[in-house]
Chain A
Amino acid sequence: MLKIQNLSASYSGHQVLHEVSLDVKNGEVLALIGPNGAGKSTIIRAASGVIPSTGQVRTNGDDFASLSPLQRARYLAVVPQAISLPPAFTVWETVLMGRTPYLGFLGHASSHDEEMARQALNRVNALAFSERRVGELSGGERQRVLLARALCQSTPILLLDEPTAHLDLQYQVSLLELVHELAHKENLAVLVALHDLNLASHYADRVALLVGGHLKAIGTPREVLTSELISEAYCLPVQVVEHPFLGGPLVLPDSKI
């Protein structure tokens, strides 16, 4: 359970997040949507404590502000965008670093830690290339490695920052299927920033719409992905129709061409 209350954040004096409050329950995927610059990544950075913020981020009564980075990393794992990863580490080394919150300063991994890394790699189907260097991997493979590293942290809360950006369609689908399955089977609270509205519609249990750092709407995909809300948020007329095969809302830009 992740509880965000009145979260505000600024970059060099310019406020980019205005008193956002939202909850992510265990066993639920909450998608953050909104146009570029709406504050999706900022929420993830503020909630994980890497930028200063005001307001509260808590889980089961523990206020994250009072925790050290190490303690926080036992509650909350982040899957960043895979654009810049150190290329020289192997997949195995990279994933094992997810065990950091449980290791001493020297970073010596026990056989239990190695077992956790193996399970995490297996979970994302990456065991086969665990000895390869990260620099040799494709974007889709790298994103899976980052997910495995986050799973290795064995936290109850998982935050993902646009994990499908730069991925081909088949990787977008398989990644989000896995994330959805993790939330439901392993009872994780998952907050995922997505810019593809139809992926959000299909894979999220609830959707939160951000515009200009304000929370505009939060609810089921059917409640939030309406033509009124989306047209206004993106300054573009859109049609929302029922998905012909899967059900649920399907957002289509109302182009004149």
Chain B
Amino acid sequence: MKSKPFLSSFFFLLIVFILSLAIGSVFISPAELWKIVRGIGDETFTFIIWQIRLPRTILIALTGAALSGSGAAYQGLFRNPLADPFLIGVASGAGLGAVIAMSIQWPYSFWGLMAIPMAAFIAALLTVFIVYFLARVGQTIPTTNLILAGVAFSSFATSLTSFLMLRSTSEVRRALGWLLGGASQAGWTAILAILPYLVVGLGILLISGHALNLLQFGDDQAQQLGLNVTRIKTILLVAASLATAAAVAFSGIIGFIGLIVPHLMRLWFGADYRRLIPLSIIGGASALLISDILARIVLAPQEIPVGIITALAGAPFFLWVLRRSKNQGFW
């Protein structure tokens, strides 16, 4: 696994992707899937795959990729192993933005749908700057400050979100499911609406590995080594927030993926961000797909929101990382 991290993680993603297409209320075997791809499959199955499972699987994969990639970037930017889009409040902020857009434009038209990730992005960006300035002490951001500021802002944003949702009574149940991270909003339009944000956001993160490496030495050293620190930090914050907003806009608030995946990748493949960012993106897609498959089968035929699965796995992981980083200062 160590020698070819990209190959093995791609292969793993492929398997999980196929499983996600196969598993559901009806099982569709890989052989049947191959028939559907060639256009000779059963008509009902073909409809299920093209209109339901494929868009859902793609959306979940993109969401996991975005949350995990931006998680890795936030960790590098804040030089803090516990920075996760959910824990630092950016996801909740983006969620609030999305809900504001939804409550203004309900039910949505195509352009109303396009406005949702935009509103999520603006709110995510505002959140990241607010939390950053609340948590900062001089040049450093202590873990406790970051998490406290994130949690405080998160509760604030979540309360406002709940308030807005309770006002739009007709869709309350659906919206609550969305908030917990369900893929009920899935559809090809949703994918189309977030794709530009994802491509730009993750694209910038993918080429910024070296800059993130330099930032690990602190602002002074990074600049003395030739990095334009202020400019690059701003660009990276915007890029990570773009990716987070894209993830939250239609998949809701899904915690801990952005914490767990970059952490494991760092443990397995080292601290070099030029590898860590792409591996976190691929790994995040796989991890959220696995969570989504579990969400579909643990209480089948009923589905549970995928955010519950990630939180069940993520919260103990979070505590473990907290202890570990306290004991060793090594991440």
Chain A residues in contact with chain B, CB under 8 A? 45, 48-50, 68-70, 72-74, 76-78, 80, 84-89, 93, 97-98, 100-101, 103, 105-107, 135, 149, 153
Contacts and interface: CB of A to CB of B under 8 A. Distances in A.
B220 A88 contact: no
Given A93-B272, A107-B209, A87 B226 contact: no
Given A89-B216, A100-B226, 5 more contacts: A49-B223, A73-B226, A89-B213, A106-B274, A149-B225
A80 B271 contact: no
A53 to B, nearest CB: 14
Contacts of B79: 86
A241 to B, nearest CB: 39
B214 A100 contact: yes
A70 B221 contact: no
B29 interface: no
Nearest to A48: B224
Contacts of B214: 97, 100
A80 B225 CA distance: 11
Interface in B210-247: 210-211, 213-214, 216-221, 223-229
Contact of B210 (A50, A86, A107): A107
B329 interface: yes
A150 to B, nearest CB: 9
A112 to B, nearest CB: 17
Contacts of B330: 87-88, 135
Interface of B: 79, 207-211, 213-214, 216-221, 223-229, 266, 270-272, 274, 329-331
A86 B79 CA distance: 9
B270 A88 contact: yes
A163 to B, nearest CB: 14
Contact of A100 (B209, B210, B218, B274): B210
B210 A105 contact: yes
Nearest to A109: B210
A101 B210 CA distance: 12
A126 B132 CA distance: 38
A74 to B, nearest CB: 8
B220 A100 contact: no
Contacts of B225: 73, 97-98, 100-101, 149, 153
Nearest to B228: A69
Contacts of B270: 88
Contact of B221 (A78, A87, A101): A78
17 contacts: A49-B223, A68-B228, A69-B229, A73-B225, A78-B221, A80-B221, A85-B217, A88-B331, A89-B272, A97-B217, A97-B225, A100-B225, A105-B207, A106-B207, A106-B274, A107-B210, A107-B213
B296 to A, nearest CB: 37
A84 B207 CA distance: 26
Contacts of B329: 87, 135
Contacts of A74: 226
B271 A73 contact: no
Contacts of B224: 48-50, 69, 73, 76-78, 80
B228 to A, nearest CB: 5
Contact of A69 (B207, B208, B209, B227): B227
Nearest to B230: A69
Contacts of A93: 213, 272
